[in-house]
């Protein structure tokens, strides 16, 4: 796991569907990745009213201080209508430590959002070249 306040885009790898980015992140960043829009942001809002509404419809207690703040910041940030991350947890990534993955096409906007939240984001030159 990444330390401190740093989220790292470790690698871009090919899958049967599309390229995905492997994200090494501190535990505290889990919600900032987990609750990114799965479908296009405009579809999520049309279907659930907001990303918070989607989380609530799935049984998530959104009344914790951490999630209240996160969903407020998501609304303030304003994702592009077409942004979708297709995030998943891959327990085998990072030599079995586990890591989040997102669509490689979503990295640029996700990084901007994480930096907006105050995280430091790092990616190697080889990852930047693949984006």
Q: Where are the domains of the chain?
A: 6-130
122, 114 in Cβ contact below 8 A?
no
What is the C-alpha separation between 27 and 31, in angstroms, rounded? 9
Please, which residues have CB within 8 angstroms of residue 68's CB and are 6 or more apart in sequence? 62
Residue 92: its pLDDT value, please?
A: 94
Chain centroid to CA 17: how far?
A: 18
Provide the 3-class DSSP secondary structure of residue 23. Answer: strand
What's the confidence (pLDDT) of residue 126? 83
Taking a C-beta distance cutoff of 8 angstroms, is the pair 111, 26 a contact? Answer: no
Q: What is the pTM of this model?
A: 0.91
Rg from Cα positions in the chain? 14
pLDDT in tens, the chain (131 residues): 556 899 999 999 998 888 999 999 999 999 999 999 999 999 999 999 999 999 999 999 999 999 999 999 999 999 999 999 999 999 999 999 999 999 999 999 999 999 999 999 999 888 988 88
Looking at residue 124, its pLDDT comes to: 82
């Amino acid at each position: 796991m990444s330390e401190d306040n740093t989220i790292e885009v470790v690698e871009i790898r090919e899958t049967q569907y599309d390229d995905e980015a492997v994200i090494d992140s501190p535990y505290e960043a889990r919600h900032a990745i987990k609750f990114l829009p799965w479908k296009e942001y405009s579809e999520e809002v049309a279907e659930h009213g907001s990303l918070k509404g989607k989380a609530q419809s799935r049984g998530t207690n959104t009344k914790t201080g951490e999630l209240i703040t996160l969903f407020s910041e998501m609304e303030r940030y304003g994702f592009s209508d077409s942004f979708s991350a297709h995030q998943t947890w891959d327990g085998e990534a990072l030599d079995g430590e586990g890591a989040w993955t997102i669509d490689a096409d979503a990295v640029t906007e996700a990084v901007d959002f994480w930096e907006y939240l105050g995280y430091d984001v790092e990616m190697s030159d080889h990852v930047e070249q693949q984006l």
